[in-house]
């Protein structure tokens, strides 16, 4: 017994010198447990009372050790949504989509919460930075809409990442959370291969025609760049295609067209005006649109091509006049 005690103390000293405080503490507690035994029943296996910090002999009930330190985790999460004990002893996992606010304590107010709880929650929201506040609100809306139309957790997480990308790109304008969430969910559904139509998503998200432009704006801020990346087109073509698509919506040239066909037609126009030409068929295969649909939407853009291109766009030989009519 003495040899085991000496070896454990030596190991704890080494761990402490290396900065392994938790291991050292565990070794010291192990020494205490090994060196303490019941004087009446020496061979009895002692029981540890974690609440009182005592070592108790199960044979006679004698307390043979006290004030032991529990090395288990002591963090607990508290929720006012459940009346019973919360079995969780740790907080929620870190959310990489949020900044420093993710590491702070979140105050939630459940059904029937008091005014003081509501005041604390409001004060916390005011102290969050603007980016985290927008991200937190959007994640709540995405979660609600995802549950409403029965989407999987992976699509919900993917939609939150899409929103984060658009938020970081400073492309969001306005405060229509429903339209923003619907656009991000639509993009996430396409990435996951889950069939959702443009009109169907608008209906499920309860977005009126007045808010449709906000939905389209978010979609067209991100999709042309993704399609161009898959096609191997340069950043200049990506920027031009995004500008063409947004401008076409502003000028009301593509009324009734889906955002997929608008993005594909914009890429087709930008590529045909440059030296990085791609056919409508190639673009349609990447975007998920038929070649005929891409060309039909392109014909709507062609008469106003001069108004759609950015001023600094570098045209290939022949300039804008070299664009094909279809």
Residue 177 confidence (pLDDT): 67
- Look up residue 49 and give its two tokens: 């009372």
Among the listed residues 163, 323, 165, the one whose alpha carbon sits nearest the alpha carbon of residue 244: 323
User: 3.90.79.10, 3.30.420.40, 1.10.472.10, 3.30.230.10: which CATH number matches 209-326?
Assistant: 1.10.472.10
What is the DSSP secondary-structure string of 274-298?
SSS---HHHHHHHHT--HHHHHHHH
Residue 92 confidence (pLDDT): 55
CA distance to 166, 265, 272, 297, 299, per residue, from 292 (Å): 30, 11, 16, 9, 11
Round to the nearest angstrom and report the end-to-end CA distance of the chain.
Answer: 91
Residue 121 is classified by DSSP as H
Give 19's contacts (C-beta < 8 A, 6+ positions apart).
Answer: none
Domain with CATH 1.10.472.10 in the chain: 92-105+115-207, 209-326
Residue 205 confidence (pLDDT): 66
Q: pTM of the prediction?
A: 0.53
- Tell me the CATH number for domain 92-105+115-207: 1.10.472.10
E-strand stretches of the chain: 47-49, 54-56, 63-65
Phi and psi angles of residue 36, each rounded to the nearest 5 degrees, phi first? -100, 135
- Residuewise pLDDT in 10s, the chain (326 residues): 444 444 444 545 545 554 444 444 444 445 444 567 888 888 888 888 877 778 889 889 888 887 666 655 555 555 555 555 555 555 555 666 666 555 455 555 555 666 666 676 666 666 667 777 778 888 888 888 888 888 888 889 888 888 887 777 666 665 566 777 777 888 888 778 887 776 777 776 666 544 556 566 666 766 788 788 889 998 889 889 988 988 888 888 888 788 888 999 999 999 998 888 999 999 999 888 899 999 999 999 999 988 899 888 888 877 788 888 87
């Amino acid at each position: 017994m003495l040899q085991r005690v000496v070896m454990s103390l030596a190991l704890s000293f080494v761990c402490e010198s290396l900065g392994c405080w938790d291991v050292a503490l565990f070794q010291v507690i192990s020494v205490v447990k090994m060196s303490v035994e019941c004087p009446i029943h020496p061979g009895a296996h002692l029981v540890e009372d974690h609440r009182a910090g005592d070592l108790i002999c199960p044979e006679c009930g004698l307390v043979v050790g006290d004030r032991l330190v529990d090395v288990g985790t002591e963090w607990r999460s508290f929720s006012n949504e459940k009346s019973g004990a919360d079995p969780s002893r740790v907080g929620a996992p870190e959310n990489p989509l949020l900044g420093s606010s993710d590491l702070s304590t979140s105050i939630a107010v459940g059904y029937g919460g008091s005014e003081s709880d509501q005041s604390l929650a409001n004060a916390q929201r005011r102290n969050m930075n603007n980016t985290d506040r927008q991200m937190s609100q959007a994640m709540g809306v995405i979660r609600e809409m995802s549950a409403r139309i029965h989407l999987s957790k992976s699509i919900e997480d993917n939609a939150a990442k899409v929103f984060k990308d658009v938020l970081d790109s400073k492309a969001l304008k306005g405060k229509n959370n429903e339209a923003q969430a619907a656009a991000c969910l639509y993009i996430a559904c396409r990435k996951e291969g889950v069939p959702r139509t443009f009109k169907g998503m608008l209906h499920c998200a309860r977005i009126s025609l007045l808010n449709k432009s906000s939905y389209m704006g978010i979609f067209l801020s991100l999709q042309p760049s993704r399609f161009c990346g898959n096609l191997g087109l340069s950043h200049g073509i990506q920027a031009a295609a995004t500008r063409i698509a947004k401008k076409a919506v502003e000028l009301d040239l593509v009324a009734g067209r889906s955002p997929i066909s608008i993005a594909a037609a914009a890429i087709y126009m930008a590529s045909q005006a440059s030296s990085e030409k791609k056919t409508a068929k190639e673009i349609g295969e990447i975007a998920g649109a038929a070649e005929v649909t891409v060309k039909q939407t392109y014909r709507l853009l062609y008469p106003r091509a001069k108004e759609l291109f950015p001023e600094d766009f570098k045209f290939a030989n022949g300039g804008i006049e070299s664009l094909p009519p279809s």
